[in-house]
Amino acid sequence: MKTTREFPVEEGTRKRGIYLLLLMLGSTGAAVAFVQNALNPAGATGVALTTAATAAICLALAGLTLWRRIPLAALEKLLLGVAVVVICVSVATGLYLTPPDDLVLRGVVATMLWMPLIFVFCAIAFDGVTSLRYSLAAYALIVLLTLPHAIATRSGTGVTDGIFVPLQAYLAYAVIIVALYFFSDLQERAFTMEETARTMRRLANTDALTTLANRRHAEEQFVRELRRAERYGRMFSVLMIDIDHFKDLNDRHGHHAGDEVLVDLARRIERMVRAADTIARWGGEEFLLLAPETSLADAQRLAEMIRHHVDANALAERYRITISLGVATYRAGDTVQSVVARADAALYLAKREGRNQARAEIPAGSGG
Instruction: State the pLDDT at residue 50.
Output: 76
Residue-level pLDDT at 12 = 78
**How far apart, in whole angstroms, are the C-alpha atoms of residue 138 and residue 83?**
10
Q: CA-CA distance, 221 to 209, in Å (whole number)?
A: 20
The domains found in the chain, sorted by start residue, are 9-202 (no CATH), 215-360 (3.30.70.270)
- Cα separation of 13 and 327, whole Å? 46
pLDDT, position 1: 42
| Model pLDDT for residues 80-105, shown as the tens digit of each residue | 998 899 889 888 887 887 776 666 67
Give the H/E segment covering residue 85: helix 72-92
By the 8 A CB rule, do 222 and 336 touch?
A: yes
Q: ∠ CA(217), CA(221), CA(223), 5° rounding?
A: 115
pTM: 0.56
Closest C-alpha among 234, 350, 243, 355 to residue 290: 234
pLDDT of residue 44: 66
Say if residues 315 and 264 touch (Cβ distance below 8 Å): yes
- Count of beta carbons in the 10 Å neighbourhood of residue 125: 23
From the CB of residue 8, how many other CB atoms can be counted at a distance below 10 Å?
8
Sheet holding 236-243, edge to edge: 278-283, 286-292, 236-243, 323-329, 358-360
Looking at residue 233, what is its pLDDT?
A: 92
Q: Are 75 and 39 in contact (CB under 8 A)?
A: no
Say which residues have a Cβ less than 8 Å from residue 225's Cβ, sequence separation at least 6: 236, 290, 292, 330
| Angle formed by the axes of helices 115-125 and 102-113, nearest 10° | 20
Looking at 206-295, list the stretches that DSSP marks H as alpha helix, in order from N- to C-terminal side: 215-232, 246-253, 255-272
Beta bridge partners of 319: 315
Side chain identity at 310, as an amino acid letter? V
pLDDT in tens, the chain (368 residues): 444 444 455 677 888 888 888 888 888 888 887 887 777 776 667 667 877 888 888 888 888 888 877 888 888 898 899 889 988 988 888 788 777 666 667 778 878 888 998 999 899 888 888 999 999 999 999 999 999 988 888 777 666 677 888 899 999 999 999 999 998 888 788 888 888 888 888 888 999 999 999 999 999 999 999 999 999 999 999 999 999 999 999 999 999 999 999 999 999 999 999 999 999 999 999 999 999 999 999 999 999 999 999 999 999 889 999 999 999 999 999 999 999 999 999 999 999 999 999 999 987 655 54
Q: What number of residues does the chain have?
A: 368
